Chain A
Amino acid sequence: MIQAILVFNNHGKPRLVRFYQRFPEEIQQQIVRETFHLVLKRDDNICNFLEGGSLIGGSDYKLIYRHYATLYFVFCVDSSESELGILDLIQVFVETLDKCFENVCELDLIFHMDKVHYILQEVVMGGMVLETNMNEIVAQIEAQNRLEKSEDQVLA
């Protein structure tokens, strides 16, 4: 199971916060901060796994993250997930974002948090991996966007 998916920038500003277990908002912020400090002090050329922070889960949980330019993508997962598998999944997620936003950059995430969520929803559902095939993910997202557009036209 995936416990949480966090995306924040190099300054720790949250860009996407998705918890699959209930935490009150202030705790969520605290977790984001703590996670940020944990990953921040790590060089780029060291491993992408971190034994869990004190706030989420416990010894069974790991933080698996990737750092892309200005953004950190952090997945907090338990031992039922394959570490390398999750790394691949992060890659799939980022590549999907790249396709949907056409050369994604931090600004896309900042202004379209909702869309990022919709994309994520096609990858991970309720903490479990839903789809890993990028073409399938993109196809579903595009279909939904078309649906939205058609509704918009009716409105106009």
Chain B
Amino acid sequence: MALKMVKGSIDRMFDKNLQDLVRGIRNHKEDEAKYISQCIDEIKQELKQDNIAVKANAVCKLTYLQMLGYDISWAAFNIIEVMSASKFTFKRIGYLAASQSFHEGTDVIMLTTNQIRKDLSSPSQYDTGVALTGLSCFVTPDLARDLANDIMTLMSHTKPYIRKKAVLIMYKVFLKYPESLRPAFPRLKEKLEDPDPGVQSAAVNVICELARRNPKNYLSLAPLFFKLMTSSTNNWVLIKIIKLFGALTPLEPRLGKKLIEPLTNLIHSTSAMSLLYECVNTVIAVLISLSSGMPNHSASIQLCVQKLRILIEDSDQNLKYLGLLAMSKILKTHPKSVQSHKDLILQCLDDKDESIRLRALDLLYGMVSKKNLMEIVKKLMTHVDKAEGTTYRDELLTKIIDICSQSNYQYITNFEWYISILVELTRLEGTRHGHLIAAQMLDVAIRVKAIRKFAVSQMSALLDSAHLLASSTQRNGICEVLYAAAWICGEFSEHLQEPHHTLEAMLRPRVTTLPGHIQAVYVQNVVKLYASILQQKEQAGEAEGAQAVTQLMVDRLPQFVQSADLEVQERASCILQLVKHIQKLQAKDVPVAEEVSALFAGELNPVAPKAQKKVPVPEGLDLDAWINEPLSDSESEDERPRAVFHEEEQRRPKHRPSEADEEELARRREARKQEQANNPFYIKSSPSPQKRYQDTPGVEHIPVVQIDLSVPLKVPGLPMSDQYVKLEEERRHRQKLEKDKRRKKRKEKEKKGKRRHSSLPTESDEDIAPAQQVDIVTEEMPENALPSDEDDKDPNDPYRALDIDLDKPLADSEKLPIQKHRNTETSKSPEKDVPMVEKKSKKPKKKEKKHKEKERDKEKKKEKEKKAEDLDFWLSTTPPPAPAPAPAPVPSTGELSVNTVTTPKDECEDAKTEAQGEEDDAEGQDQDKKSPKPKKKKHRKEKEERTKGKKKSKKQPPGSEEAAGEPVQNGAPEEEQLPPESSYSLLAENSYVKMTCDIRGSLQEDSQVTVAIVLENRSSSILKGMELSVLDSLNARMARPQGSSVHDGVPVPFQLPPGVSNEAQYVFTIQSIVMAQKLKGTLSFIAKNDEGATHEKLDFRLHFSCSSYLITTPCYSDAFAKLLESGDLSMSSIKVDGIRMSFQNLLAKICFHHHFSVVERVDSCASMYSRSIQGHHVCLLVKKGENSVSVDGKCSDSTLLSNLLEEMKATLAKC
């Protein structure tokens, strides 16, 4: 042994350690990879040795290599070996390696559970610490579930070092195992007031993280945090709390009001910039949450803005950045207060720091008004020219477009100016945002009708100088604007000044170098242009001119026909043929213009981007339904019989396709229309009724192009937007003058009349009238569009699982799983069948607790009311009350005190938290509490008590008991006999007769059920002349002898002497069996005894449950699997808690009452099958959990299924 040790040490001396490895790598700069692979080979050798020191050294080196990007997952097992070393030195190395390389996909991670548990409970705090640290990095859902309880125990460790780590790691546990949140929360909350500042800070940290994702669940903690905020001096904790309040205030404005004062004080008093900044941020959040118009808060805004201005003016770039960031938050609600600092923000645009420039840009977005838009954009344009990096320039470009187009072009008063800006932006080289500009051009041209003429002229100029733009042909480059230009010129060709010139520009050979999708638009719009020229020429009687244009088309189109792009080629060849045809007609002097123009008659309206999505699905339409029956795939694997149940959980209920057909067609038609409207290239086959071809402007209406522009268009394609700025200013000035004049006139008038105070002529946004009468066409939405869209919700958000109501009392089903071996030593009670939980609660301290409980009960009622309104109360008091510890609602009930999972030493603490606990059903609890449960009491009695209590409160039934008491074993038949049951149920009874009945489906006839009624004579008379009359419903009819009317009764074919019973059967025809139904009926009879005869009646109600329509039909498992996979069954499921019956008996019950047969049973899981009288297949998967049963059903009719499951639920609930 000693020798081995010495040998190991010697080995180790020759091994490379981490330093040697690093040195080696540094010395092998040229062949690093080779050297490292050599080292890895060595490491592999080392890992094979028995000496743990050697292994640890090897793992340490691996950790280094991992940092360099080498995958070390192959050594996962060795890492676990090192983790389990007894020496801290090695253990630490192992855990470090694990924390760097383990993840959820690491398969050996499950081997670590016990090792980690051992380390967590190690006497050395550093072993525990290192395990916690490691676990925090690689915790998986399994580890979280298995270790949650251990970690929770550590939260009350004596050493603060362990406590703080345990508290922090709980967040990771919650994320991976959300069920642990509720049971662990009371203790976590307790840690907010831990004496150690580190632990306190950790608890704040965790709760802040939790609250950030689901703030509403943590509102009740506000008073506690408020107290911490006013008492803590730890800036780190303060920052966290203040940030948390920032998240809470939007949910509770009253909280905000309360916060403003202390926060303002902090702003004034603190010297820490970080704290100041967070305070300002939260004040802003408060102000946002408060409804505006509160007079005394303008001071707070001023304070914030003023402090932020100081930050922004600071030489520290960090503060400047943050100041701008916070400013942008104020901007959203109080733009006016920010706008006064426009100078400062514009100044920041010149900052050398890109982050700051970007922030300033963000701010500008919200600062524009009608008044200053042009000025700001002008400034931005100069920055665009100056910007050196393309990223920043692109950012500027998008910002300019964002700023201008925001809220539906709200701030643009002069669209000519905007178009010029867009055209100027096309001069940017190498931008990635060509498509953005293009989209804007299209949008403006389509939606602002008044601007079309101007837009067309600009676009034709662009097309003319296309060669300047076409240099960069990459996708999204600036050449994208040609797409827009071509479309605008084509679509609005009636506004073109020189259509022929533009046509030629569009047919230049260079065009073929453009990307395919742009060429395609060119081709399409060339025709539109052609059509309009043709019409113009024909109208003017220039047949030759028209022919010349046609000739031009015929000459030039072939260059597109040769295009490699399919779209271009297709369109071009199609159009070429068309034009050739036109040429022939023209040769015969046939006027063609009108017909050609008819191709493009009608207007294309803008459609909102989400329009298609918003088309409501018509009722009865199943989008998932097959249009044609799918080919039966015979090759489908038979290997997944059960999985089928869960795969299609979200499937919509299927409807009968035959009904949907009509609607389906209509819907598709509608959808197609939508699509066509959306597609600018769609050529409408026939003019739509509203926009008849005749209505389109004839030649007379084509404006003899006389663009009435104040700016000469000399420079093709490159207008100077600045001129518009000047013009706009002049225009505004004129407007103002006019207005002033008018005002003066009015004043004079007023002077004559009543003298009124007139406001100073300030120029507000509203005063600036737009230059053009702008008609901004709103985007079209489908009729009955769904109002809200829930696009933003991400169903995969991991934090959604943590959206848990923490104020609800804890149910015992929520306890954390405990490892048994930890408890065995404490269990001394002889009863074998007591569940673990109960044993634990029977600790010596129990007595003490009981005592406390009694006292508590007295106070509880008083507390109860107080508590419910506590938060409200706290919030409503205006002066900050001496912040009492928040008696926040802690989940606890009387039952819980019995069942809560706690370790003995925590009992007291639990009792404390429970003392503050909320009480929801005080009545039931009191009973529970008072029920004597002394320590030595016989278990049985306690059990009884408990179940009684349970029944009363109808709460979670005691589950674990059954799990222990009745082990569910497969193939343990007839363990317990079911009580003999009858399928006959009581129908009605009186002193003469008792009626019971059973309803059975009949196999022979579709849609028929047989009702067997047993009549029992209870009297001493003879019953005779019995007649049964049943009131038929639409759905169910009684089969009567031929010739009898609906109102006649049906005779019972026997007499009943005293004490005798007999059975009569009646057949009912049922139309729809998907729903249960009731029929009213009356039994009339004559009771005859010695004294005479009386006529008697007995009313009853026949209840046809859905189960009664089922016929027990055996099914083989392969057929069953096939059925499930066929996919045309809809799915539904139920879950019933508190089942105490064994699974065997449960199945028997289902078979008996609901006419199912078991197809297959494995452990606590069984598949069942039945068939309805109308041939619906019903498949069930019944699973038994600890004390619950879940039933997943599949059926060809969803209504039938859901009704069946409801009935089953009722049956199971009785079990």
**B208 & A126 in contact (Cβ 8 Å cutoff):** no
**A85 & B358 in contact (Cβ 8 Å cutoff):** no
**A128 & B209 in contact (Cβ 8 Å cutoff):** yes
**B209 & A1 in contact (Cβ 8 Å cutoff):** yes
**Can you report 27 A-B residue pairs in the complex whose CB atoms are below 8 A from each other?**
A26-B69, A29-B69, A46-B356, A47-B321, A47-B355, A49-B321, A49-B355, A80-B212, A83-B322, A84-B273, A84-B274, A84-B322, A85-B274, A110-B22, A111-B19, A113-B64, A121-B130, A125-B165, A130-B165, A130-B198, A133-B197, A136-B198, A140-B161, A144-B126, A147-B88, A152-B89, A155-B9
A87 beta carbon closer than 8 Å to chain B? yes
A45 beta carbon closer than 8 Å to chain B? yes
**B89 & A47 in contact (Cβ 8 Å cutoff):** no
Interface residues of A in 18-70 (CB under 8 A from B): 18, 20, 22, 24-26, 28-29, 43, 45-51
A contact residues around B353 at 8 Å (CB): 43, 46-47
Stretch touching chain A among B131-139, B448-456, B696-704: B131-139
A contact residues around B692 at 8 Å (CB): none
**B318 & A49 in contact (Cβ 8 Å cutoff):** yes
**A25-B70, A51-B355 as given contacts; A125 in contact with B169, CB under 8 Å:** yes
**B136 & A125 in contact (Cβ 8 Å cutoff):** yes
B320 beta carbon closer than 8 Å to chain A? yes
A12 beta carbon closer than 8 Å to chain B? no
Binding site for B on A (CB under 8 A): 1, 14, 16-18, 20, 22, 24-26, 28-29, 43, 45-51, 80, 82-85, 87-88, 110-114, 117-118, 121, 125-133, 136, 140, 143-144, 147-148, 151-152, 155
For the complex with contacts A24-B71, A85-B235, A111-B18, 10 further pairs of A-B residues with Cβ separation under 8 Å are A25-B71, A29-B69, A47-B318, A111-B22, A125-B168, A128-B205, A128-B206, A131-B198, A147-B88, A151-B89
**A110-B22, A151-B89 as given contacts; A46 in contact with B64, CB under 8 Å:** no
B contact residues around A110 at 8 Å (CB): 22, 26
A contact residues around B69 at 8 Å (CB): 25-26, 28-29
How distant is the Cα of A111 from the Cα of B19 in the complex, in angstroms?
5
**A80 & B208 in contact (Cβ 8 Å cutoff):** yes
How distant is the Cα of A24 from the Cα of B78 in the complex, in angstroms?
20
**A25 & B66 in contact (Cβ 8 Å cutoff):** yes
B contact residues around A148 at 8 Å (CB): 88-89, 92
**A25-B66, A82-B277, A114-B96 as given contacts; A128 in contact with B321, CB under 8 Å:** no
Binding site for A on B (CB under 8 A): 9, 18-19, 22-23, 26, 53, 60, 63-64, 66-71, 87-89, 92-93, 96, 100, 103-104, 124, 126, 130, 132-133, 136-137, 139, 161, 164-165, 168-169, 171-172, 197-198, 201-202, 205-206, 208-209, 212, 235-236, 239-240, 243, 273-274, 277-278, 317-318, 320-322, 352-356, 358
**A47-B353, A129-B236 as given contacts; A114 in contact with B63, CB under 8 Å:** yes
Write the chain A residue with the least CB distance to B18.
Answer: A114
B contact residues around A22 at 8 Å (CB): 103-104
A contact residues around B205 at 8 Å (CB): 128-129
**A25-B70, A130-B168 as given contacts; A43 in contact with B352, CB under 8 Å:** yes
How distant is the Cα of A128 from the Cα of B126 in the complex, in angstroms?
19
A contact residues around B137 at 8 Å (CB): 20, 126
How distant is the Cα of A136 from the Cα of B71 in the complex, in angstroms?
35
Write the chain A residue with the least CB distance to B73.
Answer: A25
How distant is the Cα of A152 from the Cα of B18 in the complex, in angstroms?
17
B contact residues around A88 at 8 Å (CB): 274
**A131 & B126 in contact (Cβ 8 Å cutoff):** no
B contact residues around A49 at 8 Å (CB): 318, 321-322, 355
User: In the assembled complex, how far is the CB of residue A106 from the closest CB belonging to chain B, in whole angstroms?
Assistant: 12
**A46 & B18 in contact (Cβ 8 Å cutoff):** no
Write the chain B residue with the least CB distance to A26.
Answer: B69
Interface SS, B side: helix
How distant is the Cα of A4 from the Cα of B92 in the complex, in angstroms?
21
User: In the assembled complex, how far is the CB of residue A45 from the closest CB belonging to chain B, in whole angstroms?
Assistant: 7
How distant is the Cα of A88 from the Cα of B238 in the complex, in angstroms?
15
7 nearest A-B pairs in the assembled complex, by CB-CB distance: A126-B136, A84-B274, A47-B317, A46-B353, A29-B69, A22-B103, A47-B321
A contact residues around B92 at 8 Å (CB): 118, 144, 148
**A45 & B126 in contact (Cβ 8 Å cutoff):** no
**A17 & B67 in contact (Cβ 8 Å cutoff):** yes
**B317 & A45 in contact (Cβ 8 Å cutoff):** yes
How distant is the Cα of A50 from the Cα of B889 in the complex, in angstroms?
42
User: In the assembled complex, how far is the CB of residue A118 from the closest CB belonging to chain B, in whole angstroms?
Assistant: 7
**B355 & A46 in contact (Cβ 8 Å cutoff):** yes
Write the chain B residue with the least CB distance to A28.
Answer: B69
A contact residues around B358 at 8 Å (CB): 51
A contact residues around B197 at 8 Å (CB): 133
Q: Which of A20, A46, A140 contacts B352 (CB 8 A)?
A: A46
**A82 & B239 in contact (Cβ 8 Å cutoff):** yes
Write the chain A residue with the least CB distance to B247.
Answer: A80
B contact residues around A127 at 8 Å (CB): 136
B contact residues around A80 at 8 Å (CB): 208-209, 212, 243
User: In the assembled complex, how far is the CB of residue B326 from the closest CB belonging to chain A, in whole angstroms?
Assistant: 11
User: In the assembled complex, how far is the CB of residue A110 from the closest CB belonging to chain B, in whole angstroms?
Assistant: 6
A contact residues around B126 at 8 Å (CB): 143-144, 147
**B168 & A126 in contact (Cβ 8 Å cutoff):** yes
**A82 & B88 in contact (Cβ 8 Å cutoff):** no
B contact residues around A28 at 8 Å (CB): 69
How distant is the Cα of A1 from the Cα of B212 in the complex, in angstroms?
11
**A14 & B68 in contact (Cβ 8 Å cutoff):** yes
A contact residues around B103 at 8 Å (CB): 22
Write the chain B residue with the least CB distance to A117.
Answer: B96
B contact residues around A87 at 8 Å (CB): 274, 318
**A82 & B243 in contact (Cβ 8 Å cutoff):** yes
**A83 & B19 in contact (Cβ 8 Å cutoff):** no
A contact residues around B239 at 8 Å (CB): 82, 85
Write the chain B residue with the least CB distance to A133.
Answer: B198
B contact residues around A152 at 8 Å (CB): 89
**A125-B136, A126-B137 as given contacts; A113 in contact with B317, CB under 8 Å:** no
Write the chain A residue with the least CB distance to B20.
Answer: A111
A contact residues around B198 at 8 Å (CB): 130-131, 133, 136
User: In the assembled complex, how far is the CB of residue B245 from the closest CB belonging to chain A, in whole angstroms?
Assistant: 13
**A47 & B356 in contact (Cβ 8 Å cutoff):** yes
How distant is the Cα of A14 from the Cα of B63 in the complex, in angstroms?
13
**A25-B66, A111-B22 as given contacts; A130 in contact with B212, CB under 8 Å:** no
How distant is the Cα of A113 from the Cα of B1108 in the complex, in angstroms?
74
**B202 & A130 in contact (Cβ 8 Å cutoff):** yes
How distant is the Cα of A50 from the Cα of B318 in the complex, in angstroms?
10
B contact residues around A130 at 8 Å (CB): 164-165, 168, 198, 202
User: In the assembled complex, how far is the CB of residue A69 from the closest CB belonging to chain B, in whole angstroms?
Assistant: 19
A contact residues around B71 at 8 Å (CB): 24-25
User: In the assembled complex, how far is the CB of residue B7 from the closest CB belonging to chain A, in whole angstroms?
Assistant: 14
Q: Which of A47, A111, A121, A129 contacts B133 (CB 8 A)?
A: A121
How distant is the Cα of A50 from the Cα of B70 in the complex, in angstroms?
28
Of the listed residues A14, A45, A80, A110, the one surrounded by the most CB atoms of chain B closer than 10 A to its CB is A80
**A113 & B355 in contact (Cβ 8 Å cutoff):** no
User: In the assembled complex, how far is the CB of residue B321 from the closest CB belonging to chain A, in whole angstroms?
Assistant: 4
How distant is the Cα of A14 from the Cα of B66 in the complex, in angstroms?
11
User: In the assembled complex, how far is the CB of residue B144 from the closest CB belonging to chain A, in whole angstroms?
Assistant: 12
